[in-house]
């Protein structure tokens, strides 16, 4: 890789923006495609597919063999609420290579004993969330059932364009949540982004099963084409 290309890759990676280096295997020629340019690139379908999968790979296009080297940010999972579901969800997400953080101002819940080896922030969302640099490559779940904690956290997630936003609660609970968030300035499009009830509908009952349903839904949102994940 040329130094100029490497420098551009490093700039994009430092900003947590995906980038793909396309290499012609016949002659070694390379070009760099930034995430913002994928939609207009001649290889857009292949580029989008490899980026969704988060993997590099070989393709054939216009009679050429091309290697797509994908540089995608490590996905984050921010869990608001150090509850039983979170105890199952955090290690599951870490096993899938997510960078996990648990936020809960209730120190009785947010304890190292309950969450070994998981970063904990025992602060209210307005203090805890800004330093986390939440972005489009962040999945965000609100699990406390306490509007004083969940609502401001969700408002922050809207602003940061998380690729997945989910919240615990029944449809009735979610309807009331939507009313509260709207009163605090959230748009209808923001409310529509919340996956609630959270997780794929697999009949999950226990905290561990609910954690599986949540991670399955997050994975679908990250990996599948938008029309398939909706």
pLDDT single digits (tens) 141-174:
999 999 999 999 999 999 999 999 999 999 999 9
| pLDDT band, residue 133 (cuts 50/70/90) | very high
pTM for this predicted structure: 0.88
- Complete domains list, the chain, with CATH: 3-71 (no CATH), 76-229 (3.40.50.720)
Per-residue confidence (pLDDT) for residue 224, from 0 to 100: 84
Mean per-residue pLDDT, 70-83: 95
Nearest to 90 by CA among 224, 215, 220, 229: 215
- Given a cut of 80, is residue 12 above it in pLDDT? yes
CA gap 178, 155 in Å, rounded: 11
Per-residue confidence (pLDDT) for residue 223, from 0 to 100: 87
Per-residue confidence (pLDDT) for residue 68, from 0 to 100: 96
Terminal CA-to-CA distance of the chain, rounded, Å?
38
| pLDDT band, residue 2 (cuts 50/70/90) | confident
Mean per-residue pLDDT, 194-204: 96
Residues above pLDDT 70, as percent of the chain: 98
Per-residue confidence (pLDDT) for residue 5, from 0 to 100: 87
- Given a cut of 80, is residue 89 above it in pLDDT? yes
CA gap 206, 99 in Å, rounded: 24
- Given a cut of 80, is residue 187 above it in pLDDT? yes
Contacts of 28 (CB under 8 A, 6+ apart): none
Mean per-residue pLDDT, 97-120: 96
Asked whether 186 and 202 are in contact (CB, 8 A), the reply is no
Out of 47-56, 165-174, 187-196, 197-206, which region has the weakest mean confidence (pLDDT)?
47-56
- Given a cut of 70, is residue 227 above it in pLDDT? no
Asked whether 131 and 10 are in contact (CB, 8 A), the reply is no
Length of the chain: 230
Mean pLDDT of the chain: 94
């Amino acid at each position: 890789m040329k130094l100029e290309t490497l420098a551009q890759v490093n700039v994009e990676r430092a900003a947590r923006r995906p980038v793909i280096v396309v290499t012609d295997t016949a002659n070694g020629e390379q070009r760099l495609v930034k995430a913002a340019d994928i939609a207009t690139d001649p290889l857009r379908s292949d580029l989008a597919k490899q980026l969704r999968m988060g993997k590099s790979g070989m393709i054939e296009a216009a009679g050429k063999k091309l290697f797509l080297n994908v540089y995608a940010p490590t996905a984050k999972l921010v869990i608001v609420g150090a509850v039983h579901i979170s105890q199952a969800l955090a290690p599951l997400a870490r096993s899938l290579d997510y960078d996990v953080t648990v936020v809960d101002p209730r120190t009785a819940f947010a304890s190292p004993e309950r969450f070994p080896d998981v970063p904990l922030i025992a602060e209210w969302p307005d203090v805890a969330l800004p330093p986390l640099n939440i972005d489009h490559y962040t999945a965000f779940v609100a699990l406390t059932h306490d509007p004083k904690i969940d609502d401001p956290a969700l408002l922050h997630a809207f602003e940061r364009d998380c690729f997945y936003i989910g919240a615990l609660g029944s449809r009735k609970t979610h309807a009331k949540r939507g009313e509260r968030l709207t009163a605090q300035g959230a748009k209808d499009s923001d409310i529509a982004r919340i996956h609630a009830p959270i997780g794929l509908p697999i009949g999950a009952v226990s905290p561990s099963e609910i954690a599986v349903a949540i991670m399955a839904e997050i994975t679908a949102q990250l990996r599948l084409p938008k029309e398939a994940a909706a």
